[in-house]
Chain A
Amino acid sequence: MNWHEYVNKTGKLPEWPYEVNYGKENVIESDVLVVGGGVAGCRAAISAAQHGVSVVVADRGFVKHSGQGGAGVDHWHGAVRNPCSKITPEMYSDVAMQVSGGYTNGAARYIIGMEGWDTLLELEQMGLQIRDEEGEFKDTIWRDEETKLLFAYDVDNKHCLRIYGNNVKPVVAREMLSMGVKVYERICVSSLLTENGVKGTRVIGATGVNDRTGEFYIFKAKAVVLATGGGSRLGSFAPFMTSGSAMTDINLVNMGHTIAWNAGAEMVMMEALTPEFGMGTGLGYAPYSMGNTDNTYQGARVVDTNLKYVPYANTKGELLTEEKQIFQAADPDKFVIGHGIGLATPVTSDYNVTTLDPKLAEKIRSGEYSLPLYDDFAGMPEKSRKIIWNLMLAQEGKCRVPIFENLQAWGFDPSQDMLQYAISADNGIHARTSWLAPEQTPKTWVSTKRQGGVFTDWRLQSSLPGLFVAGGNPLFGSGCHGEAQTTGRYCGRQAAVFAKNHPAVEPERGQIDREKDEVYTPVTKGGDVGWHEFNAALARVFQDYWNVKTEEIFDRGLIRMADLRRTEGNRMYANNPHELARAIECYRLTDLASCYWQSAKARKGSSKLLGFMRIDYPNVDEPEWHKFLPVSQTEKGVSVREAPCDYYLRDPYLTTLHDNYVKYAELD
């Protein structure tokens, strides 16, 4: 029942149901600590445990369903070594580097290429269905008869798979628990512990607060895997309108980025944060609840309101006549990378997915097509309809209950019905997700597309010894679900090896006390600013001082945010541990903003490749600025270094992807 219904019925306010002990300390020791128990974190924990070390996971939510991957998945990208694939790990990472202009994580892309398929096979052993075992899609373009695998995006090259992932998180979490991994849930981790409490040294643990009890947790470990996923709440905040349309849940605030930054880790590409239509918290429609042709709906037949057919086009703009062409690259020498792997493609669209006629918006305005548009499920061949609705949609994240079951409960029947698009005549409509694209959905700031994050080496270790980074985020330039599981699994192995070779180090008490002092401010000092109001204010500051890019604006942003943090931040109150944890997340969001501004200040040039255009340095993509600028905090201030985009193939590394992989991957 709703809160007000309870009050009306009983005449009482419900008391806080959990025993509250603000500040009470719990000390937990392990060889490996995994911060964030999403799909990446669970896989890290499993592989570390397989390597014979003790493992603890600290998660903000309930591991059986927490994280972006907690409510399902339908595409498994990067399975380039499956027996049907025509793509090699070299091609996969080289193309990722090429299309992004060098601004992605080349080493991680290669690791994903090498291990993505194995990571999926293990998932199958854990109990997840990854094949069309019953032959439902026999004799279709998507299925391989021998392996029974189903392909998405590119039926010639066969490297991206359709999987039955609705229950992926329960499967992975069950496996993790069966291995004796200790899991601490409802913990908002808010700091990393470093050797001697100094920024820029080895990471030896983390601290957090339980959002039900308010108790304090001190995790000590020999190695730490950071797997906290992505986030929103920095660039816009209006949860009462937006949560249902969000692609990240409210717990996800890029915490891993922030605590790594605060500990002194090097960060890269943070400046490449652009306003995108899409993936963050928007004022949008329910994801996947409307007609479109993107992602899960790729291949849907589209008609206008007069049932006039709207064709797809390939990346050359050629209108397509056959269904198969929708799942093929325009150029037989190329392949379709697939959508949603955290890769911007400013250099070339040759590897992009097919979309509706690129002139569609124009043709709507000229009257050639009449709105609304529909996904004409009723007009599709049965198997084509089923592979979208009964397979992909039923397996995709946030879709089984909210869309598949809900729409069917209201009578939606794809064999008879057509699903309406969002009403729009702008360019958003012919590509991407129609529920996120149109004019009426404001742009929101998201970091997922170009994906700034923690800078890593071939071990996916950050610049801080003992801190390994996994996931769709906060690992810089990495990817989505399959990639998150793959990098998680890789990091777990690396962390286990590190833990075996390094002694435990006792954290410094002063560092713990400073953290405690800060995080309990809302319950020790109290005040008159609620966390919602504070979150909205910090989002206001970030929008104001990020949108227009000059050195002065960035500096002013830093000053305004520090002012907000010192003033209203110190006046935040929390009525219970739940609100306290949200307030702590807000504190860290103000720190995250400084990481963005410092990264922006480091790049004194504009870049179309990075979507980063400065007024005061208007020259675009000058060769001397084509590089990574790892930015970090030291005890003395902010430090900036330079690294070539192909740093992972240069000194001290070997010159080929494969040689480096063999040297560093810790293969058994």
Chain B
Amino acid sequence: MATFSYPSIAEPSRILLFDKDKCVGCNVCVNTCSSDVMIPNPEKGGEPIVLFAEECWFCGSCVQECPHKALTLIPTASQRISTIWRRKATGEEFRMGMLDPPEPNTTPPVGRNH
């Protein structure tokens, strides 16, 4: 692969992770974002391109609207490293983005809007 010349790109580096098996390139996420952070992939069916990552305010609307549940919102490293919790009984510490996280907690929200 060629090595390209890039401007250095400021934080955040990756705000969204697209699940390749699920994303069909429908661009619902592109059109949901009020800040127009993404553009459609020129290749039909390709996953959208995140163009203006620093304009994302991490509201998560694109994730919620994705009809294929293909999107994950990724907080910046400085935010992942500062969101920390402790298991009361054992004293173990966890954080967002940790290696080997515990099992996901799948308890739903209260109410019917989910």
Interface residues of A (CB under 8 A from B): 1-4, 6-8, 10-11, 14-17, 60-62, 64-67, 70-71, 128-129, 133, 136, 164, 166-167, 186, 211-212, 239-241, 243-246, 248-251, 285-286, 289-290, 307, 372, 374, 376, 378-379, 386-387, 390-391, 394-395, 397-398, 400-402, 404-413, 416-420, 422, 578
B86 and A374 contact, CB distance less than 8 A: yes
List of B residues within 8 angstroms of A6 by Cβ: 41, 49
**Contact B60–A71 (Cβ < 8 Å):** yes
- Tell me whether chain B's interface is mostly helix, strand or loop, or mixed: loop
Beta-carbon contact of B109 and A11 below 8 Å:
no
Complex contacts, A410 vs chain B, CB 8 Å: 94-98, 101-102, 104
Known: A14-B42, A374-B86. 8 other contacts (CB 8 A): A1-B48, A2-B13, A243-B58, A289-B75, A401-B73, A406-B75, A410-B97, A420-B84
Interface residues of B (CB under 8 A from A): 1-2, 4, 6, 9-14, 18, 31-36, 39-43, 47-61, 63-65, 72-73, 75-76, 78-79, 82-89, 94-98, 101-114
**Among A71, A166, A422, contact of B109 (Cβ-Cβ < 8 Å):** A166
Residues of A contacting B48 with CB < 8 Å? 1
With CB as the reference atom, state the residue of chain A lying closest to B100: A411
Contact B49 A212 (CB under 8 A): no
CB distance from A216 to the nearest CB of B (A): 18
Query: Which of A167, A244, A378, A409 is the one whose CB lies under 8 Å from B79?
Result: A244
Complex contacts, A286 vs chain B, CB 8 Å:
58, 75, 79, 83
A-B contact pairs, 11 of them (CB 8 A): A1-B50, A6-B41, A11-B2, A61-B35, A241-B10, A243-B12, A244-B57, A289-B83, A372-B84, A395-B113, A400-B64
* CB-nearest residue of chain A to B48: A1
Q: Which residues of B contact A404 (CB under 8 A)?
A: 109
Contact residues in A for B64 (Cβ distance below 8 Å): 400-401
In the complex the two chains form, is A166's CB within 8 Å of B83's CB?
Answer: no
Once the chains bind, are B52 and A578 in contact (CB under 8 Å)? yes
8 Å CB contact of A240 from B11, B95, B105, B110 = B11
Give the chain A neighbours of B102 by CB distance below 8 A.
410-411, 413
The 10 A-B pairs with the shortest beta carbon distances in the complex, nearest first, are A61-B34, A401-B60, A394-B109, A411-B102, A240-B10, A71-B59, A65-B61, A378-B88, A164-B111, A240-B54
A249 touches B109 (CB 8 A): no
Q: Are B88 and A249 in contact (CB under 8 A)?
A: no
Question: In the complex, are the beta carbons of B12 and A244 less than 8 A apart?
Answer: yes
User: Does B4 contact A7, Cβ atoms closer than 8 Å?
Assistant: yes
Number of A-B contacts (CB under 8 A): 231
Q: Is B49 in contact with A2, judged by CB distance below 8 angstroms?
A: yes
Given contacts A240-B10, A249-B57, contact A166 B114 (CB under 8 A): yes
B32 to chain A, nearest CB (A): 6
Docked pose: A427 CA to B12 CA in angstroms: 30
Shortest CB-to-CB span from A642 to chain B, Å, is 39
Q: In the complex the two chains form, is A398's CB within 8 Å of B59's CB?
A: yes
What residue of chain A has the Cβ atom nearest to residue B94's Cβ?
Answer: A411
User: B residues within 8 A CB of A129?
Assistant: 111-113
- CB-contact partner of B58 in A4, A61, A398, under 8 A: A398
A16 to B94, CA, bound (A): 42
User: In chain A, what residue has the closest Cβ to B61?
Assistant: A65
Q: A64-B32, A378-B88 are in contact. Are A411 and B104 (CB under 8 A)?
A: yes
Cross-chain contact B112 with A164 (CB below 8 angstroms): yes
A245 to B75, CA, bound (A): 10
Shortest Cβ distance from residue A594 to the other chain B in the assembled complex, whole angstroms: 26
Q: Are A243 and B113 in contact (CB-based, < 8 A)? A: no
* A376 vs B87: C-alpha distance when bound (angstroms): 10
Q: Are A406 and B110 in contact (CB under 8 A)?
A: no
Smallest CB gap from B13: residue in A: A2
Q: Is the pair A2, B14 in contact by a Cβ cutoff of 8 Å?
A: yes
Q: How far is the CB of A503 from chain B (nearest CB, A)?
A: 35
The contact of A394 among B35, B84, B87, B110, by CB within 8 Å, is B110
Hey, which chain B residues are within 8 Å of A378, CB to CB?
87-89
A239 to B35, CA, bound (A): 13
- A243 with B57, Cβ < 8 A, contacts A411-B94, A417-B87 known: yes
